[in-house]
Structure 1
Amino acid sequence: MTDPVQQETRSSAAPDADRQSSDDADDDHLSDLEDGVGCTEIWEHLSERRAEASARSTERAEE
């Protein structure tokens, strides 16, 4: 089992620049959304992206 205190210490020891680039990579898929949108808007946005990706995948498979 992981010690939460040690885990927090390790993660807080990371430089801010590393944390920032990691955060940016984690939320790039939300860059099209405006600040302040709610859960429903985020859910719709993600669903649309998945549907588009699925459609592209199906088109490639048919070629």
Structure 2
Amino acid sequence: MTNATPTHETDEEEPEDDHLADIEEGAGCTEIWEHLSEQRDDD
């Protein structure tokens, strides 16, 4: 029997999601878009 689970580590980095920290869990696309748009306006 073969093991289908990869045994090597990958060099993949964790995605950066700090810009989403203020968004409530369960927010939809519109809420996320509005939040990101407001952040761009502030810059």
TM-score (norm 2): 0.68
Counterpart of 2:20 in structure 1 is 30
Q: Which runs of 5+ in 1 are unaligned?
A: 1-8, 54-63
Residue 13 (structure 1) aligned with residue 16 (structure 2): no
What is the total number of aligned residue pairs between the two structures? 37
C-alpha RMSD over aligned residues:
2.5
Identity of aligned residues (%): 51
Query: Which structure ranks higher in relative contact order (CA pairs < 8 Å, sequence separation ≥ 6)?
Result: 2
Q: Which runs of 5+ in 2 are unaligned?
A: 1-5
Whichever structure has more helix as a proportion of its residues is 1
Q: 4+ residue runs of structure 1 moved beyond 6 angstroms? A: none
Look up the SS of the partner of 1:37 in the other structure. Answer: coil
